[in-house]
A and B are shown apart, each in its own frame.
Chain A
């Protein structure tokens, strides 16, 4: 069983569209994250949730809205997609309110055309 799974793996869409990426973890972890990795492999934290509560919200445009229906799921919805949103988005989870090792999903490669 995959520990952290995110879907879809690839997403190609036009500018202005709205899209969602889903993430689920079956590890029983209390903390989940969204990271964005750009073309230079720079990994930037976007959001962090602990038991469905938003605890970290970096300077991310409000077109990005995370939603955590329960502590095993953290979805990312993006409105009005822009070319600069093209990147690989990683979901991750960890224990101990974020202090433990993180387990990553396989990534979603988003291409905005």
Chain B
């Protein structure tokens, strides 16, 4: 079963606006990651936030993590048409000495020029 559930499933905004995407998960995690996938391409890692962190920034990206609510959000500020893509959250759970990376269903973001 999927660990992460993102919402909304689809988001359409105007260039320059901010985009907020949410992710909820079910079990305890080691860390949570966000990925972007452009149409017909592989996934690209955006940002990783550890379970003991609450907020992280990278350029126009801001990620928050609330482990008590088992949720995370990804904020993209001042969106651009090039941000149009699918965004996935992924959780890392420890399985003994190893870890398992499990993806949510993804959010389709459309940024209108």
A residues contacting B by CB (< 8 A) are 4, 31, 33, 35, 40-45, 48, 50, 55-56, 90, 92, 94, 96-107
Contacts and interface: CB of A to CB of B under 8 A. Distances in A.
Given A104-B42, A107-B41, A55 B102 contact: no
Interface string B81-96: 0000010101010110
Given A41-B106, A43-B88, A45-B102, A97 B42 contact: no
Interface of B: 2, 30-31, 33, 35, 37, 40-45, 48, 86, 88, 90, 92, 94-95, 97-103, 105-106
B101 A33 contact: yes
A31 B45 contact: no
Contacts, number: 69
Given A55-B95, A101-B33, 5 more contacts: A41-B105, A42-B106, A96-B99, A98-B100, A107-B42
Contacts of A43: 43, 88, 103, 106
B105 A45 contact: no
A41 B10 CA distance: 13
Contact of A102 (B40, B95, B101): B101
Nearest to B108: A41
